Amino acid sequence: MREHKQTASIPATRLPEPAFVSVPLSQHIGVPAKPVVSPGDHVDIGTVIGTVETGLGCPVHSSVSGTVKEISSYNNAQGQPIQSVVIENDGLRTRAESVVPPGIKLEDATPEQIIEIVKNAGISGLGGATFPTYAKIQSAIGKVDTVMINCAECEPYITANHRLLLERGENVVEGLEILMHALNVKEGILAIEDNKMDAVKEMESILKARGKEGLRVAVMRTKYPQGDERQLIYAVTGREVPAGKLPADVGCLIVNAETSCAISRAFYRGIPLVSRIVTVEGDCVKHPRNVRAPLGASYMDLINFCGGFVKEPKKIISGGPMMGQAQWDFNAPVTKGTSAILAFSEEHDRINTIHTACIHCGMCVHHCPMHLMPNYLAEYAHEKRYDEAEKLNVMSCVECGTCSYNCPAGVQIVQQIRVAKGVLRAKKR
């Protein structure tokens, strides 16, 4: 698989202030936040605009300063209608008075204090899963002996984490140290693929300067889908996560690089999660680059900042080409889980245009990193035989897309599997 990491050498650039942002009140796994502002209210960067009173969830903050114009439902990148707060930006970038450092030294901080800081900052997994980070830390206390920062970034095109390591590596390491302190563990690992040797050298230099024991860089062979936490754990530690279990069950906590950076900024500077780096790429984009964008900015804001389109896009993808989702609305907002916006033309689109029935070649089985049988899972899903798919461990599929990529018949295997998993989850609920 070609990597297409053309933007790795281009420093991340801040997006000029957008005229409006539309901030979804659900950017995380769990209960959607409820609005605590009204149209006409003035907000600043970091003002809480949505809270979750009970259940799993994250607060949502304003990413710009300005005036709340409306609270309405808009489709997110997954096509789901989500209640969103639309804010007219005054362009002043005024921070809320509540955005102040907690004023706690790391050595004096209790696990409960760190969890509360992470929770109040609205931090959820920025690698795409968007699981609330405070809950991940909470559930790992007393179970883990290793904290690992996932810097693999194995999807083609995406280089947001690569640039983060080069530009804000100190923050990533600080986040790792905070997590290690909260969980009282002695080993912290930065897991980086060997196609980012400049980032490896940068992080090793930072660790050497800090001089703390137990911190190291693990260099992994570049291989898709190395960024999946099960693959990552096995590659670095040799431990295997059993089906149905979590990384904490084998003694590991895995956190994405940008999530680690966000934890540092919240703990040391009191800054909630209001922006992230997004890779804007594809043969249709005039000037591909990494953009630090406020949450709620539209995809079109980022595309226009990158020079717009040089040719008609056939497909816009939110995320990477393997696991991302095709879009139909350029006005979809950047959220905590938006790692990339990719625009491909007709001639550049990789998807096989020949679609036939499964030819039983076994390519999907051979390449499946989870050692499943994607051919049968897709067939059972298509025939709505979901219980039989469950018996073949369909829920263990990580939806990496390797099966669909290698299928010579062009069968949309992952999409069929996603349907099956959705039905099975609904049944359990």
What would the pLDDT profile of 136-188 be if each residue is shown by its tens digit? 999 999 999 999 999 999 999 999 999 999 999 999 999 999 999 999 999 99
Query: For position 79, what pLDDT does the model report?
Result: 76
| Nearest-angstrom CA–CA distance, 249 and 240 | 10
What would the pLDDT profile of 332-370 be if each residue is shown by its tens digit? 999 999 999 999 998 876 555 567 889 999 999 999 999
Query: For position 67, what pLDDT does the model report?
Result: 98
Q: How many CB atoms lie within 10 A of CB 360?
A: 9
User: Helix 160-183 crosses helix 133-140 at what angle (to 10 degrees)?
Assistant: 40
pLDDT at 109 exceeding the cut of 70? yes
Evaluate whether 211 touches 219 at the Cβ level (below 8 Å): no
Query: For position 350, what pLDDT does the model report?
Result: 54
Query: For position 239, what pLDDT does the model report?
Result: 96
Mean pLDDT of 100-104: 94
Query: For position 81, what pLDDT does the model report?
Result: 87
Residue 140 CA: distances (Å) to CA of 56, 200, 226, 262, 353: 16, 27, 22, 19, 45
> Whole-prediction pTM value?
0.94
- Of 351 and 277, more confident: 277
Query: For position 356, what pLDDT does the model report?
Result: 83
Whole-number percent of the chain with pLDDT over 70: 98
pLDDT at 1 exceeding the cut of 70? no
287, amino acid identity: H
Query: For position 353, what pLDDT does the model report?
Result: 57
Give the confidence band of 129 by pLDDT, cuts at 50, 70, 90.
confident
| Nearest-angstrom CA–CA distance, 103 and 298 | 35
Structural domains in the chain?
Answer: 13-98+274-344 (3.10.20.600), 106-269 (3.40.50.11540), 363-428 (no CATH)
What would the pLDDT profile of 48-79 be if each residue is shown by its tens digit? 999 999 899 999 999 999 999 999 998 877 77
